[in-house]
Amino acid sequence: MKTLSELSKDELLELKKNLEKEYNDEKSKGISLDMSRGKPSAEQLSLSNDMLDIITKESNLNTETGMDIRNYGSLDGINEAKRLMAGILEVDTENIIVCGNASLNVMYDTIARAMIFGVLDSTPWCKLDKVKFLCPVPGYDRHFAICEQFGIEMINIPTNEEGPDMDMIEEYVNNDESVKGVWCVPKFANPSGIVYSDEVVKRFANLKPAAKDFRIFWDNAYCIHDLYYDNKEVKLLNIIDECQKAGNEDIVYEFCSTSKMTFAGAGISAIAASKKNLDSIRKYMSVQTIGFDKANQLRHVRFLKDVENTKNHMKKHAEILRPKFDAVLSVLDSELGGLGIGTWTRPLGGYFISFNALEGCAKDIVAKCKEAGMVLTGAGATYPYKNDPKDSNIRIAPSYPDAEEMKQAAKLFALCVKLVSVDKILSAK
């Protein structure tokens, strides 16, 4: 098979003619698909419907310590919820605060506290001339949006199959006092699906920051979101343990939530960190809130019970998600394999597939898809300031449509990739 760049100009023009006819046929079908976010499907959400019946007016509404969940109290979470979330993150309960429905909210608040009050009595970031964050790319657009809102300068850090370029990270962190943080999605990274290697985790834990208020923002959103539990379950080295071993226990904040385990809009979240960090967080939280939703915390505990039961629950999610990922990858392989116009990841978990088109093509591909009725995450969204310097990365989110719709969507996507790529190659002939 020839790659598209090996075709003659006449062959490319003929191919373009055929592709345009096929594209117009697809447009005429009135397709309407939204894959702009990694939303759980209704089928996934229904897995947790029994949780809605767990707490009723007849239920025991007291925690194991006798606290009435309907009343005030328990600033940092009920004991049962701490135990559950600590188990999911494999940390001790004293290293956990249980918060509200979304870890994004917790990450935002953590940045806001650092901006306003500083980190462990350091100068508040808002009083500094410059605050910088390192951003492994492609990455999570909402991390970048938080930094942008607070005026934090973002620095792109390239990634490979092992994780971020640690030589670059060490150079910045160990020598530049204005570098105050780094964003990480260490397991099934958004959007690439990569998992940080043991070496990468250990190098993070052993950083020697120039800034004493530097923190690793370890967004472990997909910590138990494997697609292949039976034979390919992926293990990630525990960052909290590694930081303790390195005598660097204060350097990291770890975040997670049940948003893609139970209900995406009504889960529970947690932050794990050292005692010093958590004591500081509680001090400011005590003014911000009297406590988060204890009824929801108890509901989750009585439904998920423990880590083992939660993993069994996540296997049901995997059974729903896996055929959708398989459908996308099968179409990409059959339609684009060997053409030399794109590469894509093959994740073992998480919610996304990362596609890299020919340089300068991503925006046009996304626009072509939208014109035909399929909405994707905006090109550039996986980079700070929505600026992908190569205009090549596209995030594919297979979770929300059903498997048949996903196959149809993947075929349309591949068609748009071919059309835009042919134009790109023709322009250089």
Does 399 have pLDDT greater than 80?
Answer: yes
User: Which CATH number covers residue 224?
Assistant: 3.40.640.10
Place of tokens 């059959």: 334
What is the amino acid identity at position 307?
V
156-163's contacts with Cβ under 8 Å and 24+ in sequence apart are: 156/383, 156/384, 156/389, 157/182, 159/189, 159/192, 159/194, 160/194, 161/194, 162/194, 162/196, 162/197, 162/199, 162/200, 163/136, 163/194, 163/195, 163/196, 163/197, 163/200, 163/201
pLDDT of 33 above 90? no
- Position 151 pLDDT exceeds 80: yes
Model confidence at 359: pLDDT above 90:
yes
Least Cα distance to 398 among 342, 324, 347 occurs for 324
Q: Is residue 50 a part of any domain in this protein?
A: no
- Comparing CA positions, the residue from 289, 285, 261, 258 lying closest to residue 273 is 285
pLDDT digits (tens, 9 = 90+) for 37-74: 899 999 999 999 999 999 999 999 999 999 999 999 99
Task: Write down the pTM of the prediction.
Answer: 0.97
E strand or H helix at 278, and its extent?
helix 275-288
Q: What is the pLDDT of residue 75?
A: 96
Whether 31 has a pLDDT exceeding 90, the answer reads no
For residue 49, being part of any structural domain is answered with no
Instruction: Mark which of 280, 305, 330 sits at the end of a domain.
Output: 305
Number of DSSP helices (H) and strands (E) in the chain, helices first: 14, 13
State which of 286, 305, 324 marks the end of a domain.
305
Q: Given this model, what pLDDT does residue 232 score?
A: 74
Dump pLDDT digits (tens) for 250-308: 999 999 999 999 999 899 999 999 999 999 999 999 999 999 999 999 999 999 999 99
Domain boundary residue, one of 289, 305, 321: 305
Which residue range(s) make up the domain with 158? Answer: 61-305
The average pLDDT across 152-178 equals 98
The rounded distance, in Å, linking the Cα atoms of 314 and 317 is 5
As a whole number, mean pLDDT of residues 407-411 equals: 93
pLDDT of residue 429: 74
Is 388 found in the same domain as 295? Answer: no
Task: Tell me what pLDDT residue 425 has.
Answer: 97
Report pLDDT digits (tens) over 332-358.
Answer: 999 999 999 999 999 999 999 999 999
Is a pLDDT exceeding 90 seen at residue 34?
Answer: no
Residues 316 and 298 in one domain: no
Taking only Cα atoms into account, the Rg of the chain, rounded to an integer number of angstroms, comes to 23
Instruction: Give yes or no for residue 400 having a pLDDT over 90.
Output: yes
> Is residue 309 over pLDDT 90?
yes
With CA atoms as reference, report the closest residue to 294 among 97, 129, 63, 9.
63
Give the chain's domain count. Answer: 2
Nearest to 35 by CA among 375, 322, 347, 416: 375
pLDDT 10s digits, 122-140: 999 999 999 999 999 999 9
Residues 249 and 354 reside in one and the same domain: no
Amino acid identity at 16: K
Task: Give the pLDDT confidence of 198-247 residue by residue, as tens digits.
Answer: 999 999 999 999 999 999 999 999 999 999 987 777 999 999 999 999 99
Whether residue 369 sits in one domain with residue 320: yes
Indicate whether 125 belongs to any domain.
yes
**Average pLDDT score over the chain:** 96
Q: Is 116 inside any structural domain?
A: yes
